[in-house]
Amino acid sequence: MTRLRIPIPCLILVLWLSLCHGQEEAPAPRPLPPDRPNVPAPPPLTTIATAGGKPYPINLPTAMKLGNVRNLDIQLATRQLQSAAAQLQGARVLWLPNLFFGVDYNRHDGPIQQIDGPVIDASRSSFMVGGAPYAVFAIADAIFQPLAARQTVRARQAQVQAAANDTLVALTQAYFNLQQARGELAGYLDALQYAEDLLGRLDKLAPGLAPSLEVNRARSLAARLRQTALQSQNNWRAASAELLRVLYLDPTLVVEPVEPPHLRVSLLPLDKPVDDLIPIALTNRPELAAQQALVQASLRLLRLEKMRPLMPSLLLRGWSTPVTGTLAFGYFGGGTNSDLSNFNMRQDWDIQALWTLQNFGLGNRALIRQRTADNRAALVELFRVQDRVAAEVVQAYALAQTAASRISETEAELREAQTLVRENLTALGHTQRLGEGGPIQLVTRPLEVVTAVQMLQQAYADFYQAINDSNRAQFQLYRALGNPAQALASAP
């Protein structure tokens, strides 16, 4: 399969964010082009209740760096990789015997049988100091266990990368949830200002011009917007707590992103057909690389069990101390009764090559069947991961395309809603007479302004949701394609 690449300005994005938004205090939002709506900046945490938490300013590149270092899932995957590497190191030295060093004292009193049959009474003792190599290992294990362990290490390495990619998605989801809550709060506060302006204008109208029912409706709108703003503050704190959990930071802090909440992140172009993206994901996703390594490891273990009856096991031990069968060479001496003399160097070796059929070969057959089933299960899991990867690419691509299309629509909606509110408020004090001598009525009724403010509130919510849905979908697609998470986290 050809490895495809698509241009991804990830590092440029991180550098731009670091340079433009690296200040400790939130910068004022940049003026938007004339064809885009004015977006109010969210209030700083110092002006709203923070439930006892301290403001914690942070930008997106810093959050990604912290997530790649402090996240517990990455640390756990790293520890599992270290364990697999240690197992591989142990498998590579199965050829080497164990070494023993020590002393041996042997004493016998009483009858003992001679080699040719007679039983005699004897009293003797011996002493030896020395050492010996000792090994009992199967040649098949020494060949195939390192091969299987090497594949397990490859799988663990890929799982570390997968944990980093998953952490990137979890972190950005929490970060843009937080940004959406901040933006919605700014929108609700802006709509609340218009609602309070409406109430002030109604108080200045002549009695009887505005029906009391519509005045009550305006007061109800202002009260509801105050409640909604308070709920948005709670959403901000909840999203902050989730982001702090992912970053493994003090949960009592309240995160205040440096970037404006209407910041749009673009990692991947959306002009390619999704069929061109699926092969990229199948090539790059670390989950697939991990599962492929596990399939190879199961093949090595299956080969091991097939070769086990055909390859001997080696037994290497000493025989200078026949009772224990441990020491092979050293300084030996002894004599009758308790006499220890005649010391000299001695060495005795015992080397055996043994072929084994476990349980008359039926045990070997059972092990082969077990390893075959393990290999087939690993293959089925590989196919399942492939299907999941393809589905995730399609889903993330559809989300990214839909969210990108919604942004222009919500910008137009917000721009029209802002114009409608301003024009309705301006026209609220204008009156007209119905016919000659007829009653004087308002050109624009308060109900129309209330409706315009409600539309503005909804337009803000739609705008910030579309922006942050697009950002979340971009990172979901980035992860679905299997691009390394460090490409975004390693920029200076």
- Is 455 a member of any domain? yes
Please give the tally of structural domains in the chain: 1
Range of the domain at 259: 10-23+40-93+152-310+361-489
- Is 145 a member of any domain? no
- Is 330 a member of any domain? no
- Is 261 a member of any domain? yes
3-state secondary structure 388-443: HHHHHHHHHHHHHHHHHHHHHHHHHHHHHHHHHHHHHHHHCCCEEECCCCCCEEEC
Distance of CA 172 to the CA centre of its chain: 11
Percentages helix, strand, coil for the chain (3-state, rounded to 5) are: 60, 15, 25
User: CA distances (Å), 47 to each of 55, 184, 346, 358, 415, in order?
Assistant: 11, 16, 89, 77, 27
Contacts of 64 (CB under 8 A, 6+ apart): 14, 168, 171, 172, 485, 488, 489
CATH number at residue 77: 1.20.1600.10
The length of the chain in residues reads: 492
The pLDDT assigned to 79 comes to: 82
Consecutive 10-residue runs of the chain (492 residues): their mean pLDDT? Answer: 37 41 37 57 59 79 80 76 84 82 86 85 87 83 90 91 88 93 91 88 73 84 90 90 89 88 86 87 91 94 92 84 76 85 86 88 92 95 95 93 91 91 80 56 73 92 94 92 60 40
The pLDDT assigned to 93 comes to: 81
Asked if 378 and 151 count as a contact pair (C-beta separation under 8 A), the reply is no
Segment 65-69 long-range contacts (CB within 8 Å, at least 24 positions apart): 65/489, 66/247, 66/249, 67/167, 67/168, 67/170, 67/171, 67/246, 67/247, 67/489, 68/164, 68/167, 68/168, 68/485, 68/486, 68/489
What are the tokens at 202?
């109604």
- Is 334 a member of any domain? no
Question: How many Å apart are CA 217 and CA 447, to the nearest integer?
Answer: 8
DSSP β-bridge partners for residue 136: 315
The pLDDT assigned to 395 comes to: 94
* Exposure b/e, 357-388, CB count within 10 A at least 16 = b: eeeeeeebeebbeebeebbeebbeebeebbee
- Dump strand ranges (E) for 146-264: 254-257
- Is 136 a member of any domain? no
User: Residue 352 belongs to what H/E stretch?
Assistant: strand 349-354
Distance of CA 183 to the CA centre of its chain: 26
Q: Model's pTM, two decimal places?
A: 0.75
The pLDDT assigned to 449 comes to: 82
- Is 483 a member of any domain? yes
- Is 33 a member of any domain? no
Asked if 425 and 202 count as a contact pair (C-beta separation under 8 A), the reply is no
